[in-house]
Structure 1
Amino acid sequence: MKMLRKLFWTVLQGFVLLPTIAIRDSNIVNRKMADVPQFEKPIGNQTFHIGREAVLGCSIDNLGKHKVGWLRAEDQTVLSLHERVVLGPRYSVNLDSPSTWQLRIRPLRAEDRGCYMCQINTQPSMKWQIGCIDVYVPPDIINEETSTDVSAQELDNVTLSCKATGHPPPKITWRREDHEQMLLKKIGGRDFYKVESYVGSSLPLYRVDRRQMGAFLCIASNDVPPAVSKRIILNVNFPPTVIVPNQLLGAPLGTDVVLECTVEAYPNTINYWLKNRGEMLLDGPKYVIGEDRSSYKVLMKLTIKQFSKHDIGTYNCVSTNSLGKSEGTLRLYEIKLYPSSQSAAEVNVGGLTEGAVKQNPAFSDSNKVFSRTFLIFLLVTVAVVERETM
């Protein structure tokens, strides 16, 4: 009976003391939790430009006597231990008061792109969190994989290529250097269509035409300045074509006469003038020979000083290059000038000139009076003869 009574009081005492024990244990746990370091916020992911400085911050509460280390997450390479840098002069660590440990990387390289670990040497297991860096790299054209100047025969198929590196991957845009619209043709198509620009690493030119030749710009951009470009020249080879705007020319004697021919050809041509298909004309006091070049076009000019009867005849503008030869023919004739008192009119037929002289108005009126008088005289005479006969 005594034993049961003693057990009862012991159990009762335990129930009474139980809240006090629970409060004491809770305080012990809270005190131990307060002694353990905690991360205040995530490191986060950030983007930086190559060549600049990258900063990652690791905020820690209640670090106490614990140490902080930075590692490269990919291969667990140790970068720093607390305030001591382990790997290279590009890395540094500083404490941004009161509790943020900053990892700094300067100058930033493309290979620094990746994730980094902030680690606390807690026991029995270490605490850690990760933040990542993305490194933006401006574009750079790869010369080995980009077209150089291109020469092609007219109607051949041509493809211009342009490759570039950078992060994010660059966009390739093609434009003409002269700001003219580009002429493009769909594969198998016959007609050209015009565009201001073309996007793509390859610019296809189907059955290339002389009008497409010129300088093209390959522009690489990825919103990371600066954009870069490369100049690529397209040459289209074709034999000469001669165009004569005026094949029949007339001029008064004593004037200067200009003869013109337009030549289209590439490569560049040798151009000269012939007279009557025999004599080659040379620049000098009598003849002035000149050329105006623009891309694949050449304007040939021949100026004949003091046009005379000796200069009447046939002239040929001749153009030749490595792919062929072509010529145009011009015929030069005299335009006759009449004295102003005669009011001459010119009638030109096939290079020949005929003068159609208009009569003087006074001379014409006197003729009319004479004709009327003569007619009256004739009628009077006939009447007299008839009367005498009767």
Structure 2
Amino acid sequence: MLSIVIITLILQQFYSTYQLETIQTALSSTVELACSLTNQNIESTNPAKIVWIRDDQADIVSLDSIITVRDHRLSILSMNNIDHQDRILRITNIEEQDHGLYRCIHGDITLNEIFLDVLVPPRIISHSPEHMRMTVREGNDVQFSCTATGHPTPSIIWHVNGLLKSDLVTMIEGKNESILILRNVSRFDAGRVDCSASNTLSTVNRQFLLYVKYKPIFTIPFQLFHFRLHDSATIICQVCSIPLPIIFDFFRPKQSDPISNGIKEKSDKFINQTCRQLTITIYLNDASLFGPYVCRARNSLGVNHAEFILKEIIQSTKRMKYITEHRPSITLSMITNLSSTLMINNENESSKRNIQLNNKIISQKNQSYKSSISILLLIILSFIMI
């Protein structure tokens, strides 16, 4: 009895040397799960065959070298050597359902345990809207959703026209469903909405198109134009809206009919899918054609308009008259007075020069007189001394 216990313990120690192994593999690949029996003495005492079992399904996959399930992708590679026997379970064209725990056993002894981890790239299995297009009126809310599967579980992110919108996303636990809610949508939100699901293998994407309906929006380069009478005035008006306007024309204020008086040329063209441009040339041959105008457009959401004014340039003569009346004119009397003034000034200059000359002559005479006196005194003193 003791010997049987000892033998059992030895066998358990021998077969318990294996460790749980994890093998990661991708879809459509081929994997081989190894199993080896090394003690040949067991064959005489324990004739049980080597068996592969899939635990999660409780299926016996193979019995020794024979596959026991109907799956052409499975096969057993048998190798018998002197010191061991190998029964390798080979699985080709790996599928997602192959994921799980596989055990190789011999009788009641587990020879090997392998966890087959099948990596699955992300896949978006549902999305809303299904037709990939969404149209909403400006100012309303809009919602998009994506549900993705894969292993590892993919993460889902959203972009609107290339900008990350992580703060507007809600995740539904257990379904890996992501919901994007855009509130108070404006026409600038129109464009691409991208849902991307990613894991370690790859990234998949769904692209939605968002259309935002809005009333006509106008663009006029200037609101005040200056022209002269008989000039030709060319005015350009651009409007953008979704849907495009059914009415788009030039009007006078509070008038329901488009203008027709003075129209020389008129053209209407599409700039793109949402914008139109209207160009008119008015021949201003009458003063009544000056004044305010409106560029008006209407679509199914409403009506809008832009105002501009044609102002007449009037060349006034009042300023010239004022300058003429207040600016002194040069007459003959002014010329005479000016000549007299100049002559008087010349005479005064001549008198000043004469006085200066006389003073100089007198000064010279005084100097000569003084010199003569001095010579005479010297002569008298010389005689006295003799």
TM score, norm. by length of structure 2: 0.65
- For residues 294 and 14 of structure 2, the distance between their equivalents in structure 1, rounded to whole angstroms, comes to 98
Partner deviation per Cα, 1:320-349 (whole Å, 9 max, x = no partner): 1111111223333xxxxxxxxxxxxxxxxx
Partner deviation per Cα, 1:278-327 (whole Å, 9 max, x = no partner): 4467xx98223223236x5x25241538x553695454322111111112
Task: Say yes or no: does 1:70 pair with 2:40.
Answer: no
Please point out which of 222, 227, 248 is paired with 1:246.
Answer: 222
Task: Say yes or no: does 1:221 pair with 2:213.
Answer: no
Is contact 1:74–1:115 with CA below 8 Å preserved after alignment?
A: yes
Q: Tell me the residue number matched to 2:302.
A: 324
Which of the two has greater helix per residue?
A: 2
Please point out which of 80, 83, 87 is paired with 2:62.
Answer: 80
- The secondary structure found in structure 2 opposite 1:162 is strand
- Once the two structures are TM-superposed, the CA of residue 51 in structure 1 deviates from its matched residue by 2.0
Letter in 1 for 2:151: H
- The secondary structure found in structure 1 opposite 2:335 is helix
Please point out which of 105, 116, 123 is paired with 1:133.
Answer: 116
Gaps of 5+ in 1: 1-24, 187-198, 333-349, 382-390
Is contact 2:215–2:299 with CA below 8 Å preserved after alignment?
A: yes
Is contact 2:51–2:106 with CA below 8 Å preserved after alignment?
A: yes
What's the Cα RMSD here? 4.2
- Once the two structures are TM-superposed, the CA of residue 133 in structure 1 deviates from its matched residue by 0.9
Is contact 1:43–1:57 with CA below 8 Å preserved after alignment?
A: no
Q: Tell me the residue number matched to 1:89.
A: 72
Task: Say yes or no: does 1:171 pair with 2:147.
Answer: no
Q: Tell me the residue number matched to 2:140.
A: 156
Q: Tell me the residue number matched to 1:4.
A: none
- For residues 102 and 254 of structure 1, the distance between their equivalents in structure 2, rounded to whole angstroms, comes to 100
Please point out which of 328, 350, 353 is paired with 2:314.
Answer: 353
Q: Tell me the residue number matched to 1:52.
A: 29
- For residues 104 and 50 of structure 1, the distance between their equivalents in structure 2, rounded to whole angstroms, comes to 15
- For residues 336 and 177 of structure 2, the distance between their equivalents in structure 1, rounded to whole angstroms, comes to 100
- For residues 96 and 259 of structure 1, the distance between their equivalents in structure 2, rounded to whole angstroms, comes to 92
- Specify whether residues 74 and 142 from structure 1 end up closer, same or farther in structure 2 by C-alpha distance, changes over 3 A only: closer
- Specify whether residues 207 and 275 from structure 1 end up closer, same or farther in structure 2 by C-alpha distance, changes over 3 A only: closer
Please point out which of 277, 301, 305 is paired with 1:300.
Answer: 277
- Deviates further, 229-238 or 147-156: 147-156
Gaps of 5+ in 2: 170-175, 341-386
- The secondary structure found in structure 2 opposite 1:103 is strand
- Once the two structures are TM-superposed, the CA of residue 166 in structure 1 deviates from its matched residue by 1.4
- Specify whether residues 180 and 164 from structure 1 end up closer, same or farther in structure 2 by C-alpha distance, changes over 3 A only: closer
- For residues 279 and 207 of structure 1, the distance between their equivalents in structure 2, rounded to whole angstroms, comes to 35
- For residues 86 and 339 of structure 2, the distance between their equivalents in structure 1, rounded to whole angstroms, comes to 141
- For residues 184 and 211 of structure 1, the distance between their equivalents in structure 2, rounded to whole angstroms, comes to 18
- Once the two structures are TM-superposed, the CA of residue 82 in structure 1 deviates from its matched residue by 1.9
- Specify whether residues 85 and 41 from structure 1 end up closer, same or farther in structure 2 by C-alpha distance, changes over 3 A only: same
TM score, norm. by length of structure 1: 0.64
Q: Quick check: which has more Rg, 1 or 2?
A: 2
- Once the two structures are TM-superposed, the CA of residue 217 in structure 1 deviates from its matched residue by 0.7
What is the 5 A alignment of 1:332-343?
Answer: 332=310
Partner deviation per Cα, 1:217-269 (whole Å, 9 max, x = no partner): 111111222x2111122223332233434122235789875423343432232
Q: Tell me the residue number matched to 2:95.
A: 109
- For residues 169 and 258 of structure 1, the distance between their equivalents in structure 2, rounded to whole angstroms, comes to 63
- Deviates further, 253-262 or 238-247: 253-262
- Once the two structures are TM-superposed, the CA of residue 37 in structure 1 deviates from its matched residue by 7.9
Is contact 1:80–1:86 with CA below 8 Å preserved after alignment?
A: yes
- For residues 16 and 267 of structure 2, the distance between their equivalents in structure 1, rounded to whole angstroms, comes to 90
Please point out which of 192, 202, 215 is paired with 2:179.
Answer: 202
- The secondary structure found in structure 1 opposite 2:211 is strand
- Once the two structures are TM-superposed, the CA of residue 127 in structure 1 deviates from its matched residue by 4.0
Is contact 2:186–2:212 with CA below 8 Å preserved after alignment?
A: yes
What is the 5 A alignment of 1:251-262?
Answer: 251=227, 258-262=234-238
Partner deviation per Cα, 1:132-161 (whole Å, 9 max, x = no partner): 111111111123566642222332233221
- For residues 261 and 117 of structure 1, the distance between their equivalents in structure 2, rounded to whole angstroms, comes to 78
- Percent sequence identity is 22
- For residues 313 and 245 of structure 2, the distance between their equivalents in structure 1, rounded to whole angstroms, comes to 34
Letter in 1 for 2:265: K
Is contact 2:215–2:303 with CA below 8 Å preserved after alignment?
A: yes
Q: Tell me the residue number matched to 1:190.
A: none
